[in-house]
């Protein structure tokens, strides 16, 4: 179902017009309330009057994660402290957390965009929905929570941890939908099997998965093991939290809530805006935010924007799945490697569990890549020949996809650490020295 036809199916011209009007208002707001932006604009000889339509966005300065750190904690806040009703922080996957304050209106918009996502996934008032993102400073838990309530479904604020108890609740309360990271969804599947339950004992049919990159193969694996349909949901705390973009039933790219978050794709080196279809760094401008509005925030997430209308009827532009963050891209012997490439290869092979770890190191001045992967119980054996054959099969496939040699290390089922939140799939020892 489409939650807000007016905003999700708006004719393109009208949307550009709305975005232009909102941008003008935003620029004037930050110019008068955030010294950081006023100084930047003055340095560029730019005044709020220079922004007349959405096309003028290219004149505006970028904002980086470093800018947020330099202005820690509240330097980029535009609303007075008396208007801030909640504070979250980014999970700090790649450094110190950044602090984000929300006004009452920001929270209302967040619930609205979350309701659009959940509706697109097929959630209705009749669903009972478990929010299994962490509650707390992380935006996942509370963000999804209020979206479910706003939609009118029943929310079960399960958070993470205590997975067996959670699974019993899923069974006993007839929980039909769940929001969590894809890695937690996999972990749930394992615990179901360990408890002697089957997916048929549960009534889960919708999964809202996000907060970390995941591949199409991972989706198939989770869907098959949990007996549900898994949808992608994307977001980041600096911009709002979950709910920035979401898949519809077509599952062909994620629609961006463009009336609130204006997307651009740039070349991270030249900072030039790239045409639709080209992959680069995703940049967002928060068109309606009051607490901590951001101009052209560089997310470091790599993807492209998709042209064309979607059969679902929504006109909002779509983004392709995130390949990874520019920070996650490993450069090994000069070759770019994304963990998602390794994931695709491993999940295509029936011999392996969807659990892996990349260990990068430097030995004798040469980069090395070790890929640890769990062999499924049925395929794990004492037969050295069979194990060597399996190792070679994976090494060859990795070589053809990555163009470099990886040292494959087969490990026993259940030996790689599981994650309840964002998974950690890379250890780069080169950074530790």
Please report, as ranges, the residues that interact with ligand ADP according to CB under 6 A. 90-94, 138, 210-213, 232-237, 299, 301, 322, 325
User: Is residue 311 packed enough to be buried (19+ CB in 10 Å), middle (13-18) or exposed (0-12)?
Assistant: exposed
User: Pick from ligand ADP, Zn ion, none: which does 312 bind, CB < 5 to 8 A by kind?
Assistant: Zn ion
The length of the chain in residues reads 433
User: Pick from ligand ADP, Zn ion, none: which does 314 bind, CB < 5 to 8 A by kind?
Assistant: Zn ion
Residue 179 tokens read as 């929001």
Q: How far is the CB of 95 from ligand ADP (least distance, A)?
A: 8
CA neighbor of 241 nearest in space, from 15, 122, 86? 86
CA neighbor of 292 nearest in space, from 78, 35, 110, 82? 78
User: Pick from ligand ADP, Zn ion, none: which does 213 bind, CB < 5 to 8 A by kind?
Assistant: ligand ADP
- Show contacts of 36-41: CB within 8 Å, 24+ apart: 36/67, 36/71, 36/75, 36/76, 37/61, 37/295
Q: How far is the CB of 313 from Zn ion (least distance, A)?
A: 7
Of residues 57, 185, 248, 337, which one binds Zn ion by CB under 5 A?
A: 248
Spatial separation of the C-alpha atoms in residues 268 and 272, rounded to whole Å: 8
Q: Kindly write out the interface string for residues 313-342 of this chain, putting x where it contacts Zn ion by CB under 5 A and - elsewhere.
A: -x----------------------------
Q: How far is the CB of 225 from ligand ADP (least distance, A)?
A: 19
Task: Give the pairing type, strands 407-411 and 426-428.
Answer: unpaired
User: Pick from ligand ADP, Zn ion, none: which does 299 bind, CB < 5 to 8 A by kind?
Assistant: ligand ADP
Does residue number 312 form part of the binding site for Zn ion (CB under 5 A)?
Answer: yes
User: Pick from ligand ADP, Zn ion, none: which does 368 bind, CB < 5 to 8 A by kind?
Assistant: none
Phi/psi of residue 279, nearest 5 degrees: -85, 135
Q: How far is the CB of 382 from ligand ADP (least distance, A)?
A: 39
Nearer to ligand ADP by Cβ, of 236 and 337: the residue is: 236
Nearer to ligand ADP by Cβ, of 290 and 301: the residue is: 301
Residue 217, helix vs strand vs coil: helix
Residue 310, helix vs strand vs coil: coil
User: Pick from Zn ion, ligand ADP, none: which does 340 bind, CB < 5 to 8 A by kind?
Assistant: none
Spatial separation of the C-alpha atoms in residues 35 and 25, rounded to whole Å: 17
Q: Which residues bind Zn ion (CB under 5 A)?
A: 248, 250, 310, 312, 314
């Amino acid at each position: 179902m489409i939650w807000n036809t007016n905003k999700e199916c708006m004719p393109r011209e009208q949307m550009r017009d709305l975005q232009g009007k909102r941008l003008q208002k935003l620029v004037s707001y930050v110019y008068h309330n955030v010294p950081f932006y006023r100084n930047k604009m003055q340095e560029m000889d730019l005044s709020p009057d220079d922004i007349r339509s959405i096309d003028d966005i290219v004149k505006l300065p970028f904002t980086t994660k470093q800018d947020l750190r330099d202005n820690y904690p509240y330097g980029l806040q535009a609303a007075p402290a008396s208007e801030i009703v909640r504070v979250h922080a980014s999970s700090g996957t790649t450094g110190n957390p950044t602090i984000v304050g929300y006004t009452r209106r920001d929270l209302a918009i967040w619930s609205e965009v979350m309701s659009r996502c959940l509706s697109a996934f097929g959630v209705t008032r009749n669903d009972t929905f478990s929010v299994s993102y962490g509650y707390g400073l992380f935006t996942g838990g509370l963000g999804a929570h209020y979206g479910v309530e706003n939609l009118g479904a029943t929310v079960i604020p399960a958070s993470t941890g205590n997975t067996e108890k959670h699974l019993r609740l899923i069974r006993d309360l007839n929980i039909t939908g769940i929001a969590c990271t894809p890695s937690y969804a996999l972990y749930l599947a394992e615990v179901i099997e360990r408890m002697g339950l089957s997916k048929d004992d549960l009534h889960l049919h919708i999964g809202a998965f996000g907060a970390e990159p995941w591949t199409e193969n991972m989706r198939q694996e989770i869907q098959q093991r949990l007996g549900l349909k898994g949808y992608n949901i994307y977001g980041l705390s600096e911009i709002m939290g979950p709910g920035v973009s979401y898949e519809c039933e077509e599952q062909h790219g994620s629609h961006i809530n463009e009336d609130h978050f204006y997307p651009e794709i740039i070349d991270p080196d030249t900072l030039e805006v790239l045409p639709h279809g080209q992959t680069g760094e995703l940049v967002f401008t928060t068109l309606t935010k009051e607490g901590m509005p951001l101009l052209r925030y560089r997310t470091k997430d790599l993807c492209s924007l998709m042209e064309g209308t979607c059969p679902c009827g929504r006109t909002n532009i779509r983004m392709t799945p995130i390949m990874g963050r520019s920070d996650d891209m490993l450069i090994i012997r000069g070759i770019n490697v994304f963990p998602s490439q390794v994931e695709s290869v491993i999940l295509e092979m029936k011999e392996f569990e969807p659990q892996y770890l990349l260990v990068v190191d430097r030995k004798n001045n040469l980069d090395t890549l070790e890929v640890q992967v769990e062999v499924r119980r049925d395929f794990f054996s004492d037969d050295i020949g069979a194990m060597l054959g399996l190792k070679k099969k994976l090494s060859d496939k990795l070589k053809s996809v990555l163009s470099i040699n990886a040292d494959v290390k087969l490990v026993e089922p259940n030996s790689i650490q599981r994650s309840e939140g964002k998974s950690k799939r890379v250890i780069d020892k080169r950074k530790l020295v």
